[in-house]
Amino acid sequence: MNVSGSTILITGGTGSFGNRVAAHLLKQSPVRIRIFSRDEKKQWEMQQAYPHFQYIVGDVRDEHSLEEAMSGVDLVFHAAALKHVPSCEQYPFEAYKTNVTGSQNACRTAKAAGVKTFVALSTDKAVKPLNAMGTSKAMMEKLVCSQNQDGGTTKFCCVRYGNVMGSRGSVIPLFKRQINNDEPITITVPEMTRFLMTLDQSVGLVLHAMQHATGGEIFVRKAPACTIGKLAEAICNKYSSKGTDHPIHVTGIRPGEKLHEILVNEYEMQRVTEEDLFYAIHPEYNVPEHRTEQPLGTEYTSANTCQFDSVYDIKPLLDQMGETELYI
């Protein structure tokens, strides 16, 4: 989409997503890109690469700081969140304050400021949630997707995806650190499946949502998947001097963790439209007549999508991922 002449706000903009989407948006000559986050150190680090951005220190929990940040904004990417599952399990009210109350603050101030389009980032963990992080993200989706029921000029929507390869806090940087330290790779359950999506693909999903949203949708990008065991094998093959002989230690599944990721559940599948690369889940208050028929009980999961069973299928995605150390 063309964002030339727009002012863009990215909440939580100093993370992996904010850095990469900013690089994409710069090519389209926006008037201004604002980075809103609570971590001044990460803002300083990001400013070394992108000195022309406007940096605002603030917290989505503080509605007043959001009001100032939203002034004159055309497009919002709402990426601010607490997303670390163990931390959210230990401090569920903190997850609620950021992921739920903070998102409501962002929606209200965006609508009041006359923002054109608002895209919030969600996660597979919001589907049939088992943990506090997923539960808070599920509530965030409900808040964002409900905003268009009463009309208004701002289009609100969400995107939902699984773990992004190489992003901060994900498993691939952990595996690489363990290899570099000559430690065994630690995996939970070898049979666990996870979607394989690069950071660039996640950015493409958000830009697709911003271009195609009419209000209230959740957009999902189709992606292949593999088992954690096979991913660990591919990473050893690519990065370890020992190759696939690098030791792997199985630790067992963690509390609140799913064996397989679900990106579209069986209820949502009854109100989707489908393209080659995307699903659009339409809100119950605005289901189109031309929706794509799906068999009852169908879900879209990391267990039933295209499976990468070979190390040589996975390695090209690791090449596309790039250097994870660049994701601050």
Total residues belonging to the chain: 328
Which among 116, 167, 144 is positioned nearest to 8, based on CA atoms?
Answer: 116
Identify the helix (H) or strand (E) that includes residue 93: helix 92-95
* Active-site residue, from 42, 83, 111, 125: 125
Angle at 202 between CA 29 and CA 54, to 5 degrees: 40
Identify the bridge partners of residue 219 per DSSP, sorted by sequence position: 159, 280
Tokens of 154: 């701002």
* 3-state DSSP assignment of residue 148: helix
Annotated active-site residue 176? The verdict is no
Tokens of 4: 């030339």
- In 218-249, which positions are buried (b, 16+ CB within 10 angstroms) versus exposed (e)? bbbbbbebbbbbbbbbbbbbebbeeeeebebe
Please list the active-site residues. Answer: 125
